Structure 1
Amino acid sequence: MAMLASFWILLVLMNVSMGDGQSVQMDTVKSGFVGSTVELRCLFINSKPPVKISQVTWQKFYNGTKQNVAIANPALGVSVLEAFKERVSFKYPAVRQSALEDTTIVFSSLRLSDEAAYICEYTTFPAGNRENMVNLTVYARPVTQMTLTSPTIVAHHHRTKVATCLSANGKPPSEIKWETQLDGESTLQESRNANGTVTVHSDYMVVPSRKTHGQKLTCIVTYRTERITDSVVLNVLYEPEVKIKGFDGNWFLNRQSVKLTCDADANPPVTLYQWKLLNGSLPRNVEIRNNTLLFKDPVTHELGGTYVCDATNSVGTRSGLVEVNVTEKPMPRGPPGNILGILGVVAVAGLIAGVVVTVCMVYRRGQKSRTETDNDQTDLPPTHKPSPPPHKKKAGDIKGGLTSDDIQVVHLGKEDEMQKLSLQPTYYDMAQSESTAFTDKQNPGGRFTELPDPADRVTFQLPDSQQHCPQLRPPSAYPPVTFLPQHPYPQPHTNTPMYTFQPNAAPPTPRNPFPYHNEHSV
């Protein structure tokens, strides 16, 4: 407990000592450009009770040595050393009247040599010396310049220096970049000066040609946060590039008002045009007007040949030629280019429209097919669901050689006659009906029951047996399917009907039922 009390007492004493002690307040770093003015702040925080300030001394600390700059003494006044006398002064005149709590100094016309650490030291009584330090950095803004190697550059086929960008005497060094559409390359060189500044030198090299003429070249110098740009436009001198215009390939006999024009691209401009005809002389009816060759008379075969135009400027002379052919009759002309373009656009638009229509039709058919399939696959109630079709067997697999031709539909129609009908599909009547001849159950859904299972045994019995042959009803609009064979008993082929109906005849004697195997087909 005693140790804890002692700790708290010591902590309180330290806080009081720190709160009542003296201190010197200064900026940590300061900076300025060469030739500018900068303030170095120094403020003394006195204690309570205050101590007596005996003297304030400013010192320059550089390369491990100290050099006095300025001194303020209550008794002796203010003094500035000779090396700084013209450029250093105390900010507040009260310093001369013994008010030494704020001894900020002002540096004017900064020099690169002023870059150093500066110490502000207070001498007090009886507390002793108190001091602090600030680091001063001096920057040098570079001089930027961009120049062309030559005001005019003659085109040739090797790479050459066309422009130079210079950032001289900068501190810190600058960064140089080029911005252009030219396909060239740049070089970069740095050199450090004796005063600590750096000069950056960059050259731009390109192959001068007709394409480089008139191109813009920009030098971008980045210095700290500043961005300096300068631009030039290349002036490249090149020989004429000659093309002869006017011959459209359709010079026919007696055509009027034809001419040839010598079109030359050159820097500087062409000063002389000369026309000639290879392997001959120009026709007599030709007039030369500067760069144009006019044919006054109608076209004749004499105008055919190779025409040459020589164009000359201060760089050199270049030539162009054209072969003129004269035909007997005008050549058929196709549709103008703009009409062909319009027709092409229309054709492409029609093709795209056809593709879109085809895709839409296919899509709609697919949608319709899927809808019908979904409707067909809709699950009906049990009383309306059609029975699955029976499994069809091959004719060779049926025992006894029974085929689909052996199955017929029997109707009770006119007297003394039975009619053969072709096989009809099963009809599903959705209306209410009574029990049918094929089931002894009531059919509330009004449709026939499922077809007999092939596993069931089918027997045939004459109509006199009610047990095996139920009473047939008169045929409806849609006759039902019978499963009676066409020829249950082998008989010779005759034209007499199998059965005849005699109303007053005695009933025939019953016959044994004719058994069938457990297979049948529909």
Structure 2
Amino acid sequence: MQCTFADANQDTKLTQNSWAKMSADGEKETVAVYNPQFGANYPLPSFQNRIKFRVQEKYPRDATLIISPLKIGDEGTYVCEFATYPHGNEEEEVKLDVLVKPTNDAKAVPVDAGESMVTVATCISANGKPASEITWRSELEGNYTNTEETGADGKITVTSWYKVVPTSKVNGMKIACEVRHKTTGSPETFPVHLSVQYPPEVRIQGYDDNWYRNRKDVQLTCEADANPPVTKYEWKLLDRTFPPSVTVGGVNEEVLHVEQVDDDLNATFICQATNALGIGDTKLKVFVRDSPVPDSTVKTGGIIGGIIAAIVVLAVLVTAILIWKRQQKNKTFGKDEEFDNPPNYKPPPPQRKVEDTDLDEKTPAEESIPLRTTYFETSTVEDPTYTEGSKNYDAPNDFEEEDDLKVTLPTQDDYREQVNPIYNNLSYPLHDDKESFVSEAMYV
């Protein structure tokens, strides 16, 4: 236990240092004393030959105490005290915790198969301090309980019981006990293989459903899962005895051999297996045919399977092609819509015409300009501005109708313009309203 006196100026005179242990009733029991003049003293018998000061000097400032070997009873609260001049005594408490590494072990508990939950494994962490923490790792639907027991010396033993419903499937399963303790950096793991004892579970192997008259050298094998292992197998027929062509062999008479199949074997076979816990059996009904099963049955099954697989693959391919074509069609339709929509541009605003009311002063050249360019209307919707009602428009009085106007026939260029009409500032007559104006019609 470390204890030093800190004096920056080292102007304090140390006359003595000592250690005391606090008892259960709060009293101090002197454990060790060091005086530069009289030396070291250890008054408690329980610490004799196990305790000493690390440094023994004339004016020791290091009162570190060494205890070896350490015992459980040494745990407790200690007081380190320095006697100084001229400041008097100064002390500090030190708590000593004693750690004891436990002894750990885990093992399986053999049980008989049943329907109730029982203990199938135990894990023990003995004589440790403080108490260990025990857990289990398992894929089974089990649980565990832990108990603690403290000995007279203060050491603690922890026992854990793992429980599960014991069935034949549980036999041989691996679980693991994990023990955690302050004396170890990581948990210790102890694997356990469970042992569940149960009577034989029997099955017959080797029958291919193709026993026919005069077939030679066929055999059946009796197998069993059991704990403890099977010690004996026995073959029987349900309602008769075996014919001379049947023999039994193997280490435990588990193999039944038939030299030649006949109608006497058209029966129910029984195999019994025996172990220390009891007897288990199973039955097999054998059908003796007149002739062997043709191989074409197997081939036909393979052909049918191949045809079904081919149909499935073909259906997947056709579906994929149809989906691809539809996607391509949707892309093409989207592009066509871009050209079918109305144009995004807007026509320029109409310009106001300032007309001269003095029509008498028009030059012959102006009079020769046609009032309207002949065009061919391609739209089925009539423009209300140029319907038959427009014939009611009265020409200016100073003009003679038709005879005084020079009408020119449309040229090829005019025809092109009429097919795709554009604005033509000279294609429309002037109005006699001095202040009004009319915009030319827009054709799209």
TM score, norm. by length of structure 2: 0.71
Alpha-carbon offset, residue 209 of structure 1: 2.8
Structure 1 residue 366 displacement after superposition: 1.4
- What corresponds to 2:101 in structure 1? 141
Judged with a 3 Å threshold, the aligned counterparts in structure 2 of structure 1 residues 336 and 209 are, in CA distance, closer, same or farther, namely farther
Equivalent positions of 1:170-249 (< 5 A) are 170-224=128-182, 225-249=185-209
Q: Is the 8 A contact 1:43 1:104 kept in 2?
A: no
The change in CA–CA distance for 1:368 and 1:68 in structure 2 (over 3 A counts) is: same
User: 1:270 is aligned with what amino acid?
Assistant: V
Determine the structure 2 residue equivalent to 1:90.
53
The correspondence for 1:441, drawn from 361, 366, 373, is 373
User: 2: CA distance between counterparts of 1:197 and 1:366?
Assistant: 83
> How far 1:259 sits from its partner (Å)?
3.0
The correspondence of residues 107-506 of structure 1 with structure 2, limited to 5 A, is 107-150=67-110, 153-224=111-182, 225-289=185-249, 290-297=253-260, 299-329=261-291, 330=293, 333-335=297-299, 348-377=312-341, 379=343, 441=373, 448-451=377-380, 453=382, 456-457=387-388
State the secondary structure of the residue aligned to 2:328.
helix
Among all aligned residue pairs of Structure 1 and Structure 2, give the percentage whose two residues are the same amino acid: 32
Alpha-carbon offset, residue 107 of structure 1: 1.6
Superposed CA offset, 1:267-300 (max 9, x none): 3433322222112222332222332322222x44
Find the aligned partners of 1:114 and 1:69 in 2 and give their Cα distance: 11
- Matched residues in 2 for 1:71 and 1:280: separation? 100
Which structure has the greater CA radius of gyration?
Answer: 1
Q: CA shift at 1:108, angstroms?
A: 1.4
**Equivalent position of 2:362 in the other structure:** none
The offset of 1:65, in angstroms, is 0.9
Q: CA deviation digits over 1:353-402, x for unaligned, max 9?
A: 3332222122112112222222322638899xxxxxxxxxxxxxxxxxxx
CA contact (8 A) 2:108 2:195 kept: no
Paired residue secondary structure (2:298): coil
> Unaligned 5+ residue runs, structure 1?
1-38, 384-438, 460-465, 474-522
Q: Give me the whole-angstrom Cα distance separating, in 1, the residues matched to 2:129 and 2:88.
A: 40
Structure 1 counterpart of 2:19: 58
Task: Please give the alpha-carbon distance, in whole angstroms, between the structure 2 residues aligned to 1:311 and 1:338.
Answer: 39
Q: Deviation string for 1:54-78 (max 9, x for gaps)? A: 2222222233111111222232222
2-structure distance, mates of 1:370, 1:163 = 73
Contact kept, 8 Å, 2:106 with 2:121, in 1: the verdict is: yes
Q: Deviations over 1:467-493 (max 9, x none)?
A: 9xx9999xxxxxxxxxxxxxxxxxxxx
- Structure 1 residues 117 and 309: CA distance shift in structure 2, 3 A: closer
Aligned equivalents of 1:337, 1:191: Cα separation in 2: 69
Change (3 A) 1:53 1:285: closer
Q: Which amino acid is 1:441 matched to? A: T
Query: Which residue does the alignment assign to 1:41?
Result: 3
CA distance, structure 1, for counterparts of residue 409 and residue 381 of structure 2: 18
Please give the per-residue CA displacement for 1:74-94, whole angstroms capped at 9, x wherever unaligned.
3222212142231111112x4
- Hey, what does 2:350 align to over in structure 1? none
User: 2:199 is matched by which residue type in structure 1?
Assistant: E
The CA deviation at 1:252 is: 3.5
Closer, same or farther: CA 374–142 of 1 in aligned 2, 3 Å: same
Aligned-partner residue type, residue 163 of structure 1: A
Q: Please give the secondary structure, in 2, of the residue aligned with 1:364.
A: helix
Using the TM superposition, name which of 273-282 and 324-333 deviates more: 324-333
Q: CA deviation at 1:219?
A: 0.8
Counterpart mapping for 1:5-84 below 5 A: 39-45=1-7, 47=9, 50-63=11-24, 64-83=26-45, 84=47
Return closer, same or farther for 1:165/1:346 CA change in 2, 3 Å cut-off: farther
Q: For 1:179 and 1:341, how far apart are their aligned partners in 2?
A: 46
Q: CA RMSD in A?
A: 3.7
User: What residue number does 1:406 align with?
Assistant: none
CA distance in 2, matches of 1:337, 1:188: 60
Q: Structure 1 residues 337, 258: CA separation in 2 closer, same or farther (over 3 Å shift)?
A: farther
Distance 2:214 2:97 in 1: 89
| Corresponding letter in the other structure for 1:154 | D
How far apart are the structure 2 equivalents of 1:344 and 1:450? 61
* Match of residue 484 from structure 1: none
